[in-house]
Amino acid sequence: MKPEVTGLKQLPIVVTGGAGFLGSGVVKCLHSRGYKNIFVPRSKEYDLRDPAAISRLYRDFNPRVVIHLAAVVGGIGANRDNPGRFFYDNAIMGIQLMEYARQFEVAKFVAVGTICAYPKFAPVPFKEEDLWNGYPEETNAPYGLAKKMMLVQAQSYRAQYGFNAIYLLPVNLYGPGDNFDLNTSHVIPALIRKCVEAKERNEQQIVLWGDGSPTREFLYVEDAAEGIISATENYDGEEPVNLGTGREIYIRDLAQMIAEEVGFRGEIVWDTTKPNGQPRRCLDTSRAERFFGFRAKFDLRQGVIQTVAWFNAHRVRA
């Protein structure tokens, strides 16, 4: 029998990864909506790769809802250097968390996947029904496939046990509080830091990976948090759901936009010996709007301006 999710705002909710970039945004949004019993397990106390730690987590907090955001993730370079770790850590966390959620009769499990799960050459815009029509882009395939296994698990558990698990696919995220470490960051924070530091050092150029021809879609972190919580409150289906804006931009144009907002006037040089990653990324977001009324609010330039301002104000933390 499927446990009913009633009085959601009063129920204990566990947000894994709740101290991270996206997770802190989700926790903040939950508080703003009146949720009271929110628990954020920290990795030092609850190693989500350890089944004993997961069992203890469920005993300690007795959550009725789990929002699983914890992940081991990075940019192209980090994915290329750590394929085994990225696969194992992400796969084992998702598998064990959902299995123990079933055993402890959690009422709802929200699995947050990744755009990296899509095939390398999926038709644009990416539709959820195309998820299995090819292998992901090679540099991030281990990470993408590990996270996609949560979709298989969610659908299997729903079919066999009546377990209420949903699966969301957010596109590339950015915003205040992002990771600006050049070894592990994604493209927007990396570009912001490179441009800011090059401007401060009066450098005449910055060097970026690839040739600038790929396209990417970006979702502001506040929008992503709103989408996840809207799905938690209003969606109980088995179908995966994209979260994004439905608008893409060439990486070369993104780099120019960020340089303009930072005030860097030097040359942007492309190192074509480095990989581009997936050729295009842009989502069909109609399912999210249809199923739980989600539409992104932030314009990309508006979001970049706020992210640049946050980075400049929090340089030590960033």
Please pick, among 46, 58, 100, 143, the residue that the annotation labels catalytic: 143
Give catalytic status of residue 167 as yes or no. Answer: no
Q: For residues 101 and 62, what is the distance between their CA atoms, to the nearest angstrom?
A: 10
Q: Which two tokens stand for residue 126?
A: 């990416």
| Active site residues per annotation | 143
